[in-house]
A and B are shown apart, each in its own frame.
Chain A
Amino acid sequence: MNLKELYQEIILDHGKNPRNLRKSENFNKDAKGHNPLCGDNVHIFLKLDEKKKIEDISFEGSGCAISMASASIMTELLNGKNESQTKEIINDFLEMIKNKDKLDNDNLNENEKTKLMSLSGVKQYPMRVKCATLAWHTLTSAVNDSQEDLNIEKI
């Protein structure tokens, strides 16, 4: 186990000062997710343009440093991405957290990938993986227009 890897500078920074922690004006998609075990919750807002490109992405919610940092970094990296890029990045991230050493998709540059890989330390803490994936699964719900609130326990 390696605490330093889990609580890297960038995680602590995003955890304390989450970016895009607000509600997008005129959002046209949104979804709520929560983790009943620990009480973490997140509400993702998306404003997509007519070509389904993300014009603005934001979130509200509360939770541990890992869940807040993950949501914050996610919103930073996905702004401006189109629907297929968004889905590829989500899948790549979730695969990485599960069992991959690196990110494979071509939609992020090396700097962005490094930023996202800062969350990979969570792999060594099985009880905390859902903290890191909550925002991402909730984003999937928003993109897919899911009518039900997401319960991360069921993932």
Chain B
Amino acid sequence: MNIENIKKEFPIFSNKVQNNDLVYLDSANSSQKPQIVIDRIYDFYTKEFSNVGRSVHYLAVAATNFYENTRKSVQKYINAEFADEIVFTKGATEAINLVANTFGQKFLNEGDDVLLTELEHHSNYVPWHFLRKTKKININFAEINDFGEITIESIKKAITNKTKIIALTHLSNVTGAILPIKEIISLAHSKNIPVLIDGCQGAPHLNLDMQDIDCDFYAISCHKMYGPTGLGVLYAKKKWLEVLPPYQGGGGMINEVNKEGITYGELPNKYEAGTMATAQVIAFNESIKFLENIGIKNIEKHENEVIKYGEEILRKNNSVKLIGNPKSRGGVLSFNIDGIHPHDIATILDEDGVAIRAGHHCCQILHKKLNLTASARASVGVYNIKEDFEKLNESINKCKKIFDI
């Protein structure tokens, strides 16, 4: 695998950003897009556009086929048993909201517990918080250990006899910890508890096999997977999609509509009300092809090498403090520098073309637990190379010089 050639597939790297070569270390936030994905959106709108699933004319049939082809590609990519288990949403956030809302309506009652972890992104907390208000449920949080990991023990400790669902991340967007989800799912299932995995950070970087891990729900953010914005995927076992109520009502999700009542459409239409993000879905097929062509295992290996190198460099830099030290780390390195606020770091790095994220990364629970108000975060994608972390380190040294540290 030749990273230089792969990088050339991303047009953003051929442009200067404020007169600098771009060192993009913000892929946990959103990944850059390869030319084939950009071209697919352009081609669809210029040559092939029509709405899907409605009309019988040539373009509508072709668009419907393209749209459904992506569903099949996703099914294959994540090894889901049925294509009907793939629901397109406007993002991973909507995917989680869909589950919290419909599962909550049907299965949660006053006094029931939902188990999350301290690592969760707000998008896997706030939708459950709504149910605190409407259903008077309780939310428990499995605690992190000193390495910023969630272990099977901490899940065991937090499960109660009222736990009705567990929702947790595959890979922390702050500490970088990869969670032992297969063991957690197996433990949960032994107690008849379904599990939702927030796969925003897992899906772009790790091999996915839904039938192997056996999760009930898996939420994917397509724009973090070299795909378009405005699109997410909810994988849900058929047995759940069949019994859960619809999420949104509208065109496309119905079977028959009468003044007296309505019957709902078959899967997956039941969960895709209204005109969907058609161009994005169709272009996402190219993102899947891009990932498949390189091979996720190759990507994982490459990103691991890069992040390990980055970790080594930053550990050697005095005054840089890494957040979390997980045994199994995904492509995320969060850090603080004594005496410099993360926003000042990010502004100074930006001057050198080094793009990182600074803030709480939508994880206030975790930052409060760690007694931090904010942190700086470097995260990688397939296009990053070891030199990117050397440039990051040089810019960090510049910060230290400016702040006289």
Contacts and interface: CB of A to CB of B under 8 A. Distances in A.
A and B from one complex: yes
Interface of A: 1, 3, 6-7, 12, 16, 37-41, 62-66, 125, 127-128, 131
A39 B367 contact: yes
A64 to B, nearest CB: 4
A38 B374 contact: yes
B348 A12 contact: no
Contacts of B367: 39
Interface string B349-361: 0010000001110
Interface stretch (B83-91, B112-120, B197-205, B336-344): B336-344
B403 A128 contact: no
A7 B402 contact: yes
B340 A39 contact: no
A38 B339 contact: no
Contact of B374 (A7, A12, A39): A39
Interface in B306-362: 339-344, 347-348, 351, 358-360
Contacts of B358: 38
A65 B340 contact: yes
Given A38-B374, A62-B373, A3 B18 contact: no
Contacts of B359: 37-39
Contacts of A3: 347-348, 351, 402
Contacts of B373: 39-41, 62-63
A42 to B, nearest CB: 12
B18 A1 contact: yes
Given A3-B351, A38-B374, A16 B339 contact: yes
A38 B343 contact: yes
A131 B404 contact: no
A64 B403 contact: no
24 contacts: A1-B18, A6-B347, A7-B344, A7-B403, A16-B339, A16-B403, A37-B359, A38-B359, A39-B359, A39-B360, A40-B343, A41-B373, A62-B373, A63-B341, A64-B342, A64-B343, A64-B344, A65-B341, A65-B344, A66-B344, A125-B347, A127-B347, A128-B343, A131-B343
B351 A1 contact: yes
Contacts of B348: 3, 7
Contacts of A62: 373
A12 B404 contact: yes
**Chain B at the A interface: mostly helix, strand, loop or mixed?**
mixed
Nearest to B368: A39
A22 B339 CA distance: 19
Interface in B357-405: 358-360, 364, 367, 373-374, 402-404
A80 to B, nearest CB: 30
A41 B373 CA distance: 9
Nearest to B346: A127
A103 to B, nearest CB: 24
A12 B402 contact: yes
A21 to B, nearest CB: 15
A40 to B, nearest CB: 8
Given A3-B402, A38-B359, A38-B374, 17 more contacts: A1-B351, A3-B347, A3-B348, A3-B351, A7-B403, A38-B358, A38-B360, A39-B364, A39-B367, A39-B373, A40-B343, A41-B373, A65-B341, A66-B343, A66-B344, A127-B347, A128-B343
B245 to A, nearest CB: 33
Contacts of B374: 38-39
Nearest to A66: B344
Contacts of A128: 343, 347
Nearest to B372: A39
A37 B373 CA distance: 11
Residue of A65, A125, A127, A128 contacting most chain B CB atoms (<10 Å): A65
Residue of A1, A3, A63 contacting most chain B CB atoms (<10 Å): A3
Nearest to B343: A64
Contacts of B342: 38, 64
Interface in B257-310: none
A37 B360 CA distance: 8
A39 B371 CA distance: 12
Nearest to B402: A7
Contacts of A41: 373
A79 to B, nearest CB: 26
Nearest to B358: A38
